[in-house]
Amino acid sequence: MPEKSPRRLMLERSLAEDPDDAFLRYGLAMQCLREGDVEEGRQRLRSLIEDDPDGQIAAYQQLGQSYADTAETAAALVVLRAGLVKARAAGDEHAAAEMEHLIDSLG
């Protein structure tokens, strides 16, 4: 595993001070994915979804995208379909359209 970036270290320190901050949690998950620490990034996204299944629409989208990026199509479709339902229920048509497009591209 490559050395952690200064940005990731900063996010980890900030999150240690405020572990319930969903914005920091999401940011660290995304930074993990960017740095190739895919499993940790995915676990952090799954944790966000578990803690707030109706509010973490972006986490569904990014988790689904992560699975799609590694050709784990079945897992991607499960996450994206769940996220699509949540996005529509929340009235987030932009996220819903993006997830629907990704689902269509995988199917």
In a domain, 72, yes or no: yes
pLDDT of residue 3: 81
pLDDT of residue 1: 58
pLDDT of residue 76: 98
- Measure the CA angle with vertex 99, ends 98 and 103; round to 5°: 120
49 to 10, 11, 74, 96: CA distances (angstroms) = 23, 19, 18, 16
* Number of domains within the chain: 1
Q: What is the domain-level CATH number for residue 47?
A: 1.25.40.10
What percentage of the chain has pLDDT greater than the value 90? Answer: 95
In this predicted structure, the answer to whether residue 8 has a pLDDT above a threshold of 80 is yes
pTM equals: 0.94
Across residues 73-90, what is the average pLDDT?
Answer: 98
pLDDT of residue 2: 65
In a domain, 1, yes or no: no
Contact 60, 99 (CB under 8 A): yes
3-state DSSP percent of the chain in helix, strand and coil, to 5: 80, 0, 20
In a domain, 21, yes or no: yes
Sequence-distant (≥ 6) Cβ neighbours of residue 80 within 8 angstroms: 60, 61, 64, 68, 99, 102, 103, 106
Domain of 83, in residue numbers: 6-106
In a domain, 90, yes or no: yes
Question: pLDDT of 10-50, one tens digit each?
Answer: 999 999 999 999 999 999 999 999 999 999 999 999 999 99
